[in-house]
Structure 1
Amino acid sequence: MTTKQPRLEIEYCTQCRWLMRAGWMAQELLTTFQKELGEVALIPGTGGVFDIRLDDETIWSRKESGHPDLAELKRLVRDRIAPDLSLGHSDRPATT
Structure 2
Amino acid sequence: MALTNEQKKAYRAIGHTLNPIVTVAGNGLSEGVIDELNRALDDHELIKIKISVGDREVKKAVIAEILRITGAEMPQQIGNTALLLRKNPKAKANLSNLQR
Q: Indicate whether the TM-score tops 0.5.
A: no
**In terms of Rg, which structure is larger?**
1
